[in-house]
Structure 1
Amino acid sequence: MTPAAPLSVVGIGADGWDGLPAASQQALREAEVVIGGARQLALLPAECAGERVPWPSPLRPAVPGLLAAYAGRRVCVLASGDPMFYGIGRTLNEVRGQEAPPLRVLPHPSSVSYACARLGWPVEETEVVTLVGRPAENLAGALYDGRRLLVLSAGAGTPGEVAALLRAHGFGPTRMRILEQLGGGRERVAEGTAADWVEPPEADPLNVIALDCVREPHARRLSLVPGLPDDAYEHDGQLTKRHVRAATLAALAPAPGELLWDIGGGSGSIAVEWLRAHRSCRAVSVERDPVRAERIGRNARSLGVPSLRVVQGAAPSALVGLPTPDAVFIGGGLTAPGLLDACWEALPPGGRIVANTVTLESEALLAERYRRHGGDLVRLAVAHAVPVGGFTGWRQAMPVTQWAAVKPAVPDVGRRFT
């Protein structure tokens, strides 16, 4: 849907009309229609005579209809702070499509810029996590000792949610500063630690949370790289073990924005660590057992990647309708008729497939695929030191056969051996 007139997007801060530059004020004066949140619209003076239209809730489904209703008129969308930083600008671009005229964006300093200025934190070194329209569990994946984080709050109750999450993950000593109404005349800072956090009276919904992360000595330390400790997961034994998991993620090779199919999810460990590789990674975990499917969701939330989509069903039938993957991991069900063919066909050129097994029957299937498509066929063997009487010996885990391949850009006519 392409509107007949260019669309302006103006960022506004807590300082209101007086804090806007001349170009932003002019755009709002000239607008025939101003669309925005009720709080932002209330900041405009009477000289902005255009029709004021508050966003309905939920917002995103209403965007196409509103733009269509006011097509051909001078429309200005009012946003909080920088419209292109977790703001309405991205939504407008996605809804309008690439054929629409470019947005005219007039940004205001973001709450992050204000917060870093008040705190003396370098913006480029400060990680930002938004909880606006997102679950608080998103924060868990960013918690590391000594890190500085800014959390974009969803409202007055968000600091309490954040404090509870920090305590649950062993970050109770973390210093919390709640910066309210940044850039306005009613700026206020509340301070405490997550361990003893008490919600201040009359907390303001317009706030940003600054965290100086401190991990308790007994709390589990989680790495950024694949191969989290096995006890980081809730599981019933159906778990790709730590060292094999690290090798599997290396073969899957996640990159920003890519989508993984994790088939036979078990505990969800492969999909979870794929998502932890980058905040823009996406994953679908397919698990036929309903108890395990629920457990996958709990593990994803606990480890900071609640965006993991869990599909309860048996592959390959459960794969129908899923978005095209960039990579596929098969951790279970290899002998299901048609599964390997369905996964290979679903991959685009350049897509990766990795399959692990411990059984001879499934190993024979992987050997056949290796002959047909090439790639790497490896056996992973891990042994752990254990007590043997008064001494120490090795206990061998079941070896894992792994096939990894990349789908070629041209039709695959079979692999030739020399």
Structure 2
Amino acid sequence: MENPEVVTVVGIGAGGWSDLSGTSQRALAAADAVFGSSRQLGLLPDSIAARRVPWPSPLVPALPGLLEAERGRRVAVLASGDPMFHGIGSTLARLLGPERIAVLPHPSSVSLAAARLGWDLASADVVSLVTAPTGILHRWVNPHRRLLILSTGADTPAAVAALLTERGYGSASLTVLEQLGGPGERVVAGTAGGWVLPPGDPLNVVAAELGDGPPASCVPGLPDDAYEGDGQLTKREVRAVTLAALSPAPGQLLWDVGAGSGSIAIEWMRSHPACRAIGIESSADRVATITANAAALGVPGLRVVHGRAPEALDGLPQPDTIFIGGGVTRDGVLDRCLAALRPGGRLVANAVTVESEAVLAAAYAKHGGELTRLTVQRGSPVGGFTGWRSFMPVTIWSVVLP
């Protein structure tokens, strides 16, 4: 800790000072100021002479000012477990740059949980509810999966149990591991459907081992009845082809213009946890439906903008990809969307009417790309036999900007 320009980030567990390595102890002993939560600062012995600064709330907006006030002094920051695993270390690396932090990790809570349970950590899905609603669990629930869930507090186990029971996984085994690695470590277990234990320690990890239950597809083209709505829904066969044309990639942002029931934006986000989407919808009722569908299908982070394109697009962050599912015949919508894309961005638009097809045909003639016409027929009863019923043909135009 000789360079005061470098912030030392020390991971600490519930076991406190005695569980720290010699390197971590020496770093804290050499500090002029130590930042951390009140709980973390309370784990330090009286022999640490550094000034102890508890984090304010909200933390992130205050960080630059707090660190600037300590410029020229030796600063240490306490983090729970591994600072780079959903921790303050990652925030500081983004703020200061990796060259200005030195990270001394401690085993993370999920590593300790896997060790207690005898689970292969690489085969379990780790989900953090610390900064996200419980509803994100929906996208991870499938038969015979193991979930390690970072809790937001003492009420998280009961909320997880209720969600799993609602999804048909009442028989799932739940284990709550509290104060891992500390003198107050405690482990309680039960089933999701039979969970009656009162809230315990707020510092906990929930381990869920799922058994038999209804599976949920991980690829685009969820069943139509997975969505609530007024019928304004891209049918699953067309949706699967449309998502293939959109080509979701981790970290990319989609605008879903004329979002309807939200199915395209939702399945875009379900393709990878880092995919982001904004749904633009002019109907207030559909806005509420999109929000409910997103929560039920595990992507409650979907942002929904109530308004009509192109005016509603003003001020939105620049997208990587745009889907136009409605409103392509409205003056300015297509041109505004093309202008909004970053270089190399992709636009996909669907049309079912002669007028909207004409707009896409003109765009294809001007900009190139690919033009596809898709006809879907589903078998359905005709008396005592089965016949084919056709949906309206859909024209799909896709283009990638230079």
Fold match by TM threshold 0.5: yes
For the 8 Å contact 2:372–2:395, the answer to whether it is kept is yes
SS at match of 2:355: helix
- Counterparts of 1:15-26 in structure 2, within 5 Å, are 15-26=15-26
For the 8 Å contact 1:190–1:200, the answer to whether it is kept is no
Matched with 1:260 is 254
Matched with 2:168 is 170
| 1:207 is aligned to 2:204 | yes
Matched with 1:5 is 5
> What is the deviation of 1:70?
1.6
Cα distance in 2 for residues equivalent to 1:69 and 1:321: 34
> What is the deviation of 1:64?
1.5
> What is the deviation of 1:287?
0.5
Matched with 2:193 is 195
Pairing partner for 2:265 from 249, 264, 271: 271
Matching residue's letter, 2:187: V
Matching residue's letter, 1:162: V
Matching residue's letter, 1:77: V
Deviates more, 1:55-64 or 1:17-26: 55-64
Cα distance in 1 for residues equivalent to 2:397 and 2:260: 19
> What is the deviation of 1:185?
2.0
For the 8 Å contact 1:172–1:215, the answer to whether it is kept is no
Runs of 4+ in 1 over 6 A off after TM superposition: none
Q: Which runs of 5+ in 1 are unaligned?
A: 409-418
Matching residue's letter, 2:319: P
Cα distance in 2 for residues equivalent to 1:123 and 1:214: 18
Pairing partner for 1:133 from 131, 140, 160: 131
Deviates more, 1:115-124 or 1:77-86: 115-124
Pairing partner for 2:157 from 137, 151, 159: 159
> What is the deviation of 1:348?
1.6
Pairing partner for 1:395 from 369, 389, 393: 389
For the 8 Å contact 1:174–1:212, the answer to whether it is kept is yes
For the 8 Å contact 1:381–1:400, the answer to whether it is kept is yes
For the 8 Å contact 1:330–1:354, the answer to whether it is kept is yes
Matching residue's letter, 1:166: L
- After superposition, the C-alpha distances for 1:345-391 in whole angstroms (9 at most, x for unaligned) are 11122211100010000100100111111111111100111111222
Q: Give the number of aligned pairs.
A: 400
Cα distance in 2 for residues equivalent to 1:123 and 1:290: 44
For the 8 Å contact 1:159–1:199, the answer to whether it is kept is no
Cα distance in 2 for residues equivalent to 1:326 and 1:4: 40
Matching residue's letter, 2:365: R
Matched with 1:102 is 100
SS at match of 2:317: coil
Matched with 2:91 is 91
Pairing partner for 1:305 from 292, 299, 318: 299
For the 8 Å contact 2:113–2:177, the answer to whether it is kept is yes
- Counterparts of 1:61-100 in structure 2, within 5 Å, are 61-96=61-96, 98=97
> What is the deviation of 1:215?
4.1
SS at match of 2:100: coil
Cα distance in 2 for residues equivalent to 1:296 and 1:121: 37
- After superposition, the C-alpha distances for 1:107-159 in whole angstroms (9 at most, x for unaligned) are 00001111111111112111100001211111111001000010001111110
Matched with 2:141 is 143
- After superposition, the C-alpha distances for 1:157-185 in whole angstroms (9 at most, x for unaligned) are 11011111111222211110001111122
Cα distance in 1 for residues equivalent to 2:167 and 2:189: 20
Give the structure-1-normalised TM-score. Answer: 0.94
For the 8 Å contact 2:5–2:100, the answer to whether it is kept is no
Cα distance in 2 for residues equivalent to 1:66 and 1:172: 47
Matching residue's letter, 2:201: D
SS at match of 1:173: coil
Q: Which runs of 5+ in 2 are unaligned?
A: none
> What is the deviation of 1:228?
0.3
Matched with 1:225 is 219
Matching residue's letter, 1:31: A
| 1:59 is aligned to 2:87 | no
Cα distance in 2 for residues equivalent to 1:199 and 1:157: 10
- After superposition, the C-alpha distances for 1:290-309 in whole angstroms (9 at most, x for unaligned) are 11011111110100001101
SS at match of 2:79: strand
Pairing partner for 1:369 from 340, 363, 366: 363
Pairing partner for 2:243 from 215, 237, 249: 249
Matching residue's letter, 2:76: C
For the 8 Å contact 2:4–2:75, the answer to whether it is kept is no
Give the structure-2-normalised TM-score. Answer: 0.97
For the 8 Å contact 1:352–1:405, the answer to whether it is kept is yes
SS at match of 2:182: coil
Matched with 1:325 is 319
Matching residue's letter, 2:5: A
For the 8 Å contact 2:284–2:306, the answer to whether it is kept is yes
> What is the deviation of 1:200?
4.0
> What is the deviation of 1:4?
6.5
For the 8 Å contact 1:385–1:395, the answer to whether it is kept is yes
- After superposition, the C-alpha distances for 1:243-268 in whole angstroms (9 at most, x for unaligned) are 00000000000011111000000000
For the 8 Å contact 1:5–1:72, the answer to whether it is kept is yes
